[in-house]
Amino acid sequence: MTDTVPRTVGTQELNRLVVRFAGDSGDGMQLTGDRFTSASALFGNDLATLPEFPAEIRAPQGTLAGVSAFQVQVSDHDITTPGDAPNVLVAMNPAALRKELVHLEFGGTIIVNQDAFIERNLTKAGYDSDPLDDGSLDNYTLFKVPMTTITKEVCKDLGVKPRDAERSKNFFALGLLSWLYNRPAQPTLDWISAKFKRQQLIADANTAALKAGMAFGETAELFDFTYEVKPAVLEPGTYTNVNGNTALSWGLVAASQQAKVPLFLGSYPITPASDILHELSQRKNFGVRTLQAEDEIAAVCAALGASFGGHLGITTTSGPGIALKGETIGLAVSLELPLLVINIQRGGPSTGLPTKTESADLMQAMYGRHGESPVPIVAAYSPSQCFFAAIEAARIALKYRTPVILLSDGYLANGSEPWLLPDVSTLPDLTVEFATGPNHTEEDGTEVFWPYLRDPETKARPWAVPGTPGLTHRIGGIEKEDGSGNINYEPDNHGYMVKLREERVAHIANDIPPTMLEGDIDDADLLVLGWGSTWGAITSAVMRAREEGRKVAHAHVTHLNPLPKDLGDIVRRYPKVLVPEMNLGQFCRIIRAEFLVDAQSVAKVEGVPFTAAELHSHINGVLDD
Amino acid sequence: MTDVPTTTKADWTSDQEVRWCPGCGDYSILTAVQMLMPDLDVRREDTVFISGIGCAARFPYYMNTYGMHGIHGRAPALATGLAMARPELHVWVVGGDGDMLSIGGNHLLHSLRRNVNLNILLFNNQIYGLTKGQYSPTSEIGKVTKSTPAGSIDEPFNPISVALGAEASFVARTHDMDRQHMMDMFRRAHDFPGAAFVEVFQNCNVFNDGAFGAITKKDKRASMLIHLEHGKPIRFGENNERGVVINPQGSAEVVDVADVGESALLVHDETRQDPSLAFALSRLSAGPFEPTPIGVYRAVERSEYATEASKQLAMAQEQSGPGDLEALLHSRPTWEVS
């Protein structure tokens, strides 16, 4: 790949490596991280990622507010988090260094783009003196690399505009890191030529920068070793690297295929859910119809209208959108039609932290409608598991003719991990039976159709779609009589229907899997009880505590309404229960109310996920208490 | 379709007791629709009525078709989803002025803009009926109601102008005192392939009685209602003595035919691409106390939304073949672990 003579540099083996790429919003750090991740995935490492970027598309250049970062952990063994403290920080400018240094492990490696450390940028970042020279980084291993200069130099004969050449410096950084950590370059080279096949000059510049980065590592005599993280020993099979929003979208497509019911998505763009709209808009050959609606309310209404027409109606949004959709979800509760409402949670209240993660919409999902309006809730717990969570939510919606809320969050949505692709033939059969004829005989012998006559087992009403002869009927949000569906305002009837709707949802507990329970199941002194994206950090933290000889179990709840039938026994079985959540204790409150146990909440509402170290320390704290 | 069974008004009438106030204009609209349906050559099961909330919104319960009584203002959105999912259905949307121009104004605008194949009937009675008499977005300025004891101070919407401004391709107006005219307009709406908007002047005899009396009473109609007929000069009056011209400023104006001559009159062209003349006609009357045009203002065919969406699906299947889940899951770089 290069005409320079390779130096003989020793290679050291690492079990795991956490790299954090940081730069200005325009520096292409998400792309760089994503490419490093893909190369590592194809190499066979296990990995987990944490993209973090500002809400502004182009925040003021060079400022702390404009810093965009991407953290990835790669390992030779099964991991569940993007790592606590990075081992390596790549900082493309002073602001990135200043903002991200706090994350770096003590003694960690810093690789900076030296060219960006000029007076103006230092001032913008709030440095009084140049940190590269003032001794403030003495506790770290610092590599100063003139990335911009070298990138411009290698691009100068390519005919690329100087500005475009300069923009390729992220590929220089990627090349250097690829060399340093023995990442294969070919996947990135292939990606560049595919991505920029209509912009040959850009492709050339990026390729040249990548190669220059690798050559720099070999020739600069800065590095004494390169490092290697061997492929992880994972379950055999075919893997792909997937983020939560993609896996979730594919799960929706799978559900539609398994149910043989077309998918209809009504959606309004909102961070961090929009990528599901983008992905499903490309799946027209699967019969997926998408509507970018005029607002959040229209989006869910169109989905519900499509469900009335015999499609699987879906709406995707984030918390602010759910707030707007509440009335329509209530209508769906009353209409008893399938509807999937997907909330990719973000920081709130109000606009809050659009690009940051939080899981504080549980109570909104449980109670965010007027009246007694129960809705089943499913929560995804890892990026790839979003696929199965989507299928499960669709299964409940279709089988029980009810709106279902599926909770994911910004961390799952954008974070990625290797996914052992499932055998499609093992996916559940979700075949739906539509009503085809009358289901009730009047006293005078007339055969009629009653829209609210229920299946005795599922308590679901028939799904009779317009176009079916003999089944014309009217449904609406006004209280109705069970069976006939006729409007009925009588006190007894309302009381009956309210309880019926509650029981309908409660009854689903008979048809959901038992709680996931791991660790010292028989003799734990502490149960860590989680839901949603805390799964990765809890899993790591419990493992560390158990390695120290602590007796800890981990239960993770995927069905938040109704709760699994075994959950009461589980939370009562252990002396102590700790509930970590990215909210102020919403699930903990439900557990205390439902089961009268003294569960303790661990809350973190800072827009970033728990680290395993934080939870480990909480576990030890509770056990030593 | 030739195999559609013959039906009568009774077949399209549900078994539900109609619960509008006695004397409400909604009764005559319901009758017009129920009388029209047997003539439309459609099946009951292929017909769906969708509504929001309000007096008018009870309409679906009284039609022996598929129906959905939704939530306030959202009927056009619910119907858009249904029409996209099932383009072969005949979907009607029924609502009042509060439902469709206030709380649901946004959905009305966008369903018209997209040109979804819906027949949208707006029952305009210029008042909130179900909530017992507050002023509505079509009430005249100065309206004294429970919520505006000193008179309302907001400018009303002109529903025809709103629809035209929202890129509506079919816009018509009728009134509840003329069953045949209603049936004609509803039939035109049904026949139109796209979003068809029909404003119906509807009398609320409890909270706003006689709001349209000055133009719709039998003895007033000839002089106060201007029938728009495609291809004909716009004339009206007891003896057809009045007409409509476009003045040099581009506004529509009522004139005496004797003063200007027949050749000066505006010849109505509902198929005219440019909506500005239709808009000018919608501004002719400042309210139901001046000569007011009824009939089809505009009927300009353009791409229908659900049809276009279906075409994209068909094209995707033609290009990529039917969806293959296995292939989708393997569509990004993969690697093997053995």
* Partners of residue B66 in chain A, C-beta under 8 Å: 466, 472-474
Nearest by Cα to B229 from B188, B290, B194: B188
Chains A, B: CB contacts within 8 A come to 206
* Residue A339 · residue A397 · CB < 8 Å: yes
Specify if A75 maps to a domain. yes
Judged against a pLDDT cut of 80, whether residue A6 lies above it is answered with no
- Determine whether the interchain pair B323/A287 forms a contact, defined as Cβ–Cβ distance below 8 Å: yes
CB atoms within 10 A of CB B333: 15
* Partners of residue B60 in chain A, C-beta under 8 Å: 474, 476
d(Cα B237, Cα B247) in Å, to the nearest integer?
Answer: 20
* Shortest distance, CA B62 to any CA of chain A (angstroms): 9
- Determine whether the interchain pair A302/B81 forms a contact, defined as Cβ–Cβ distance below 8 Å: yes
Nearest to B67 among A285, A421, A474 (CB): A474
With H, G, I as helix, E, B as strand and everything else as coil, classify residue A567: helix
- Determine whether the interchain pair B70/A477 forms a contact, defined as Cβ–Cβ distance below 8 Å: yes
- Determine whether the interchain pair A241/B333 forms a contact, defined as Cβ–Cβ distance below 8 Å: yes
With H, G, I as helix, E, B as strand and everything else as coil, classify residue A145: strand
- Determine whether the interchain pair B85/A289 forms a contact, defined as Cβ–Cβ distance below 8 Å: yes
- Determine whether the interchain pair B335/A41 forms a contact, defined as Cβ–Cβ distance below 8 Å: yes
* DSSP secondary structure, B255-271, as one string: EEHHHH-GGGSPBP-TT
* Residue B242 · residue B207 · CB < 8 Å: no
Nearby residues of A198 by Cβ (< 8 Å), 6 or more positions away:
none
Specify if A86 maps to a domain. yes
d(Cα A562, Cα A512) in Å, to the nearest integer?
Answer: 9
Nearest by Cα to A251 from A284, A269, A276: A276
pLDDT in tens, B34-85: 999 999 999 999 999 999 999 999 999 999 999 999 999 999 999 999 999 9
| A 397-426 residues inside an 8 A Cβ radius of B | 420-422, 424
Judging by DSSP bridges, how do beta strands A16-24 and A67-75 pair with one another?
antiparallel
Asked if A545 and A595 sit in the same domain, the reply is yes
Residue A328 contacts B, CB cutoff 8 Å:
yes
Final residue in a domain of this structure, among A393, A426, A459: A426
Residue A305 contacts B, CB cutoff 8 Å:
yes
Specify if A450 maps to a domain. no
pLDDT in tens, A145-182: 999 999 999 999 999 988 889 999 999 999 999 999 99
Whether omega for the bond prior to residue A236 falls within 30 degrees of 0, making it cis, is no
* Residue in B with minimal Cα distance to A190: B333
d(Cα A198, Cα A346) in Å, to the nearest integer?
Answer: 36
Residue B273, phi-psi category: left (phi > 0), alpha (psi -120 to 50), beta (remainder)? alpha
d(Cα B45, Cα B227) in Å, to the nearest integer?
Answer: 34
Asked if A205 and A297 sit in the same domain, the reply is no
pLDDT at B1: 46
Asked if A120 and A101 sit in the same domain, the reply is yes
d(Cα A9, Cα A218) in Å, to the nearest integer?
Answer: 8
pLDDT in tens, B153-166: 999 999 999 999 99
Task: Kindly state the average pLDDT of the residues A372-399.
Answer: 98
* Residue B70 · residue B59 · CB < 8 Å: no
Q: Which two tokens stand for residue A268?
A: 């309004």
d(Cα B338, Cα A425) in Å, to the nearest integer?
Answer: 21
d(Cα A356, Cα A606) in Å, to the nearest integer?
Answer: 9
**Which DSSP letter does residue A123 get?**
H
| A 331-350 residues inside an 8 A Cβ radius of B | 331, 335
d(Cα A7, Cα A337) in Å, to the nearest integer?
Answer: 68
With H, G, I as helix, E, B as strand and everything else as coil, classify residue B91: strand
Specify if A330 maps to a domain. yes
d(Cα B287, Cα B33) in Å, to the nearest integer?
Answer: 26
pLDDT in tens, A26-39: 899 999 999 999 99
Specify if A478 maps to a domain. no
Taking the model in full, what pTM does it have? 0.94
pLDDT at A221: 83
Nearby residues of B278 by Cβ (< 8 Å), 6 or more positions away:
B164, B171, B270, B272, B297, B298
Q: Which two tokens stand for residue A416?
A: 């990625």
Asked if A32 and A139 sit in the same domain, the reply is yes
**CATH number, residue A248:** 3.40.50.970
d(Cα B241, Cα B235) in Å, to the nearest integer?
Answer: 7
* Partners of residue A297 in chain B, C-beta under 8 Å: 74, 77, 107
Helices (H) and strands (E) in chain A, counts: 20, 25
pLDDT in tens, B285-318: 999 999 999 999 999 999 999 999 999 999 999 9
Q: Which two tokens stand for residue A161?
A: 């505009």
Asked if A24 and A119 sit in the same domain, the reply is yes
d(Cα A364, Cα A37) in Å, to the nearest integer?
Answer: 35
Asked if A158 and A260 sit in the same domain, the reply is no
Give the mutation candidate from A75, A261, A284, A444 for the B interface (greatest B CB count, under 10 A): A284
Residue A184 contacts B, CB cutoff 8 Å:
no
Judging by DSSP bridges, how do beta strands B252-256 and A141-145 pair with one another?
unpaired
Q: Which two tokens stand for residue A258?
A: 């398994």
- Determine whether the interchain pair A283/B46 forms a contact, defined as Cβ–Cβ distance below 8 Å: no
Nearest to A239 among B44, B45, B337 (CB): B337
d(Cα B189, Cα B57) in Å, to the nearest integer?
Answer: 19
* Partners of residue B59 in chain A, C-beta under 8 Å: none
Specify if A443 maps to a domain. no
Asked if A43 and A160 sit in the same domain, the reply is yes
Nearest by Cα to B101 from B76, B73, B71: B73
| Residue A535: domain span | 516-624
| pLDDT confidence bin for A55, thresholds 50/70/90 | confident
**CATH number, residue A87:** 3.40.920.10
* Residue B85 · residue A311 · CB < 8 Å: yes
Asked if A520 and A615 sit in the same domain, the reply is yes
* Residue in A with minimal Cα distance to B322: A285
Specify if A466 maps to a domain. no
Sign of CA dihedral A170, A173, A175, A177: negative
Q: Which helix (H) or strand (E) holds B170?
A: strand B170-175
Asked if A57 and A90 sit in the same domain, the reply is yes
Nearby residues of A431 by Cβ (< 8 Å), 6 or more positions away:
A258, A259, A260
- Determine whether the interchain pair B84/A237 forms a contact, defined as Cβ–Cβ distance below 8 Å: no
* Shortest distance, CA A101 to any CA of chain B (angstroms): 33
| All domains of chain B in start order, with CATH | 9-211+303-310 (3.40.50.970)
| pLDDT confidence bin for A1, thresholds 50/70/90 | very low
pLDDT in tens, B203-226: 999 999 999 999 999 999 999 999
d(Cα A509, Cα A180) in Å, to the nearest integer?
Answer: 52
pLDDT in tens, B93-150: 999 999 999 999 999 999 999 999 999 999 999 999 999 999 999 999 999 999 999 9
What percent of chain B has a predicted confidence (pLDDT) above 70?
A: 99
- Determine whether the interchain pair A285/B321 forms a contact, defined as Cβ–Cβ distance below 8 Å: yes
Residue A266 contacts B, CB cutoff 8 Å:
yes
Asked if A189 and A250 sit in the same domain, the reply is no
**Which DSSP letter does residue A301 get?**
H
Judged against a pLDDT cut of 60, whether residue A392 lies above it is answered with yes
pLDDT at B338: 84
Asked if A307 and A201 sit in the same domain, the reply is no
Final residue in a domain of this structure, among A166, A196, A229: A229
* Residue in A with minimal Cα distance to B91: A466
Final residue in a domain of this structure, among A411, A426, A441: A426
Asked if A273 and A384 sit in the same domain, the reply is yes
Q: How far is CA B243 from CA A410, A481, B223, B231, B282, in A?
A: 64, 56, 11, 14, 15
* Partners of residue B99 in chain A, C-beta under 8 Å: none
| A 283-302 residues inside an 8 A Cβ radius of B | 283-289, 291, 293-295, 297-298, 301-302
d(Cα A131, Cα A98) in Å, to the nearest integer?
Answer: 9
* Shortest distance, CA B48 to any CA of chain A (angstroms): 7
| A 185-244 residues inside an 8 A Cβ radius of B | 187, 231, 234-242
pLDDT in tens, A234-252: 899 999 999 999 999 999 9
- Determine whether the interchain pair A475/B65 forms a contact, defined as Cβ–Cβ distance below 8 Å: no
Number of domains in chain A: 3
**CATH number, residue A599:** 3.40.50.920
Task: Kindly state the average pLDDT of the residues B82-94.
Answer: 98
- Determine whether the interchain pair B336/A239 forms a contact, defined as Cβ–Cβ distance below 8 Å: yes
Judged against a pLDDT cut of 90, whether residue B248 lies above it is answered with yes
Tell me, letter by letter, the H, E, C secondary structure of A474-543: EEECCCECCECCCECCCHHHHHHHHHHHHHHHHHHHHHCCCCEEEECCCCCCEEEEEEHHHHHHHHHHHH
pLDDT at B2: 55
Specify if A49 maps to a domain. yes
Q: How far is CA A75 from CA A114, A230, A232, B238, in A?
A: 29, 7, 6, 91
* Partners of residue B316 in chain A, C-beta under 8 Å: 284-285
Nearest to B14 among A235, A313, A474 (CB): A474
* Shortest distance, CA B302 to any CA of chain A (angstroms): 19
What percent of chain A has a predicted confidence (pLDDT) above 90?
A: 93
pLDDT at A57: 80
